[in-house]
Structure 1
């Protein structure tokens, strides 16, 4: 009695190794072809170049003066001046360190975008698996209904059945075919969505089974690993390092700036060569910049704590949902194995032990239980995908 249901459930759960390879192959293709990811890579490169732009010497200054005397006998004089200004050496050290820290920050921000795109793609893949399995369930229902339809057409011809029973089967056939058409439309929409994610390149791999996943036994161990690899938290921490280095930079900007140059004066009878040296004292330009940098540092520290608490809470909620779904799936599994199988229901109907109404009530319970199991498994897979998004 249990064997028929077990076989059906096995069909839904088979081929996990192939499924894992299929979904991973699609995710790698999306990572390579996704237009948003490609645009984000260019944006990250642009930000890195922009961060490195300010760590150079100012442009040198060249000036030339030409003077005419009056009366003309006084003659003409000229002056050529070339000068170069520069900050205190520590400024360039801090700017270089700040550029490297910003580069790491932009990489982490790029990882956040990449992770979200791949998670969205995986969610579509999981839905496609669910739609395929629902299609198999409808195929099973259709084959069973067609068998009953053929049987009752013979009975109706022999006078052993009435038209109401035949109409009931025909209505079941119509409902199944309608659901199959709607399911096919939804599947095509999901494939188009996935194709757009793949840079508008079609996906040739058909997804039929889920990847094997296990709920972590210990939440604390899992959450530590997930938070340690969380790109959002890493990005916040990089922002904190940038803000700290920005404080050091703004402190060094209070040190004097220097200017050194070469001067050449040319008079009618004499020529002079010399050097110039100047110092700029920053009394007004950097006012309140250190206070602003410290305030930003404090804000970033609070943001890190807030992000950590929010992400920890989100992981706990996902873990609890997955745990509840896993229990529900196990209970449905037991229920399906204890219910009457379709083969037994068909035999009882053929032998007259069940009326058509009783048969459809019992059969619909079996189908509904199978459908509920598929929905639970889809929700479970979606939540597990979110829990392990840091591994994408």
Structure 2
């Protein structure tokens, strides 16, 4: 009986059909319509514009003084000055290099955020496929139990049945209806979540097929591929680059600032005009700035090391779970028998070979086993998409 049950799980799974998955199409729609993705794109584009600001020359300064002389015959004095201040020339190149690296990091932040959102959407799709697949046997169980209940009631009316058989069927039907309507509620809720992720545009996933799983490389190869495309790691690496650029800018800002301009002076009928120059001595303004940026560099290096170690073991655990689930699913596929347990149970009950109680006990065992199979299958695909997140 147990072998027949396991075989039927495989047969049932294949009978559900594996048409072309619509999950990828759903993700494409969400990537186009999701409000968070659109907002993140606008935000980080604005940030890149902001990074480029503040690297132009300071505003020019214009000063005008008109001084009345005293006593009256002392004459009046007029002063007019226009000046342009600027940092040491190397500062502008350092700031441009920093702005460029900040722009790269903005793109990485955007990709990482979008990747996490698409992973969430894909897991919702997987949950929906699982719920859609589960609804098929739940519907069949509900219909079959309703028929048995009608059958037992008729037997009771003719005096061939017992009220105990009717009660058992009613209890069984009550539990199946509970599972049926709960699962239907989950399906509606998950489709609403997809609609929300799709920017409010209605989207429904009725598919009962997941997606084709390409050949997954061995752990060492896969781990290197994931690390090479890990946007979080890339942002942390970029933090180091930016910290170094900040150090360069801080050192450049420690150099003197300068100003040049034109100065006019008129006094007692005489005028004087010429070039104005000045220099700012960086004695206090930049104090400890380089030390601060070096501390940020140290922090960035530590954060990168911590993430690399944690991510490695996270991938290792996921890969181990993937291999375990793949092996379990493979065990179902190795079974090569043709008997279907529900048909055997129905025939046995109709022939009076088993009691109603025995029938429902065996049926519940089968149902629980099949439900477990669907849950394992769902978890397998969840682990796969988590491992393959770097491809989103």
With normalisation by structure 2, the TM-score equals 0.92
CA distance in 1 between partners of 2:84 and 2:116 (Å):
48
Q: What is the deviation of 1:275?
A: 0.4
CA shift, 1:339, in A, is 7.6
TM-score (norm 1): 0.92
Residues 1:76 and 2:73 aligned together: no
Displacement of 1:64? 0.4
**1:259 corresponds to:** 259
> Given that residues 215 and 322 in structure 1 are in contact (C-alpha distance below 8 angstroms), is that contact kept between their aligned partners in structure 2?
no
Q: Is the contact made by 1:244 and 1:297 (CA closer than 8 Å) also made in structure 2? A: yes
Shift of 1:219: 0.7
Task: Give the drift of 1:303.
Answer: 1.2
Gaps of 5+ in 2: none
CA distance in 2, matches of 1:213, 1:171: 41
Once the two structures are TM-superposed, the CA of residue 63 in structure 1 deviates from its matched residue by 0.1
Match of 2:12 in 1: 8
Q: What is the distance in 2 between the residues matched to 1:13 and 1:94?
A: 60
SS for the counterpart of 2:207 is coil
Residues in 1 aligned to 2:336 and 2:370: alpha-carbon distance in whole angstroms:
7
Deviations 1:175-227 (A, max 9, x none): 21222111122222222222222222221442322112256240111111111
Deviation of the 1:150 alpha carbon: 4.0
Query: Secondary structure of the residue that 1:388 maps to in structure 2?
Result: helix
> CA 1:108 to 1:5, structure 2 compared with 1: closer, same or farther past 3 Å?
closer
Q: Which residue number corresponds to residue 63 of structure 1?
A: 63
Contact preservation (8 Å) 1:64, 1:80: yes
Contact 2:10 2:332 in 1 (8 A): no
RMSD between aligned residues: 2.2
2:202 counterpart SS class: coil
Report the CA distance between 1:249 and its aligned residue: 1.4
2: distance between equivalents of 1:282 and 1:4? 82
Instruction: Say if 2:191 and 2:205, in contact at 8 Å, map to a contact too.
Output: no
In structure 1, the residue corresponding to 2:90 is in which secondary structure?
Answer: helix
Equivalent position SS for 1:110 = helix
Structure 2: distance between partners of 1:224 and 1:196: 35
Between 1:363-372 and 1:181-190, the stretch displaced more is 181-190
Residue in structure 1 matched with residue 389 of structure 2 by the alignment? 389
Taking the TM superposition and a 5 Å limit, the aligned residue runs for 1:155-194 are 155-194=155-194
Task: Tell me which moved more, 135-144 or 148-157.
Answer: 148-157
* Of 261-270 and 341-350, the range deviating more from structure 2: 261-270
Paired position in structure 1 for 2:314: 314
The 8 Å contact of residues 336 and 369 in structure 1, kept in 2 or not, is answered as no
Contact 1:339/1:366, CA 8 A, preserved across alignment = no
Counterpart of 1:196 in 2: which secondary structure? Answer: helix
1:213 and 2:217 aligned: no
Alignment of 1:21-40 (within 5 A): 22-40=22-40
Q: Which runs of 5+ in 1 are unaligned?
A: none
Deviation at 1:335, TM superposition (A): 6.8
Q: How many residues align?
A: 388
Decide whether the 8 Å contact of 2:23 with 2:122 is kept in 1.
yes
Matches within 5 A, 1:80-99: 80-99=80-99
Q: Secondary structure at the match of 2:58?
A: coil
Counterpart for residue 197 of structure 2? 197
**Structure 1 residue 149: Cα displacement:** 3.0
2:138 is matched with which residue? 138
Cα distance in 2 for residues equivalent to 1:147 and 1:206? 27
Contact between 1:236 and 1:300, CA under 8 Å: does it hold in 2? yes
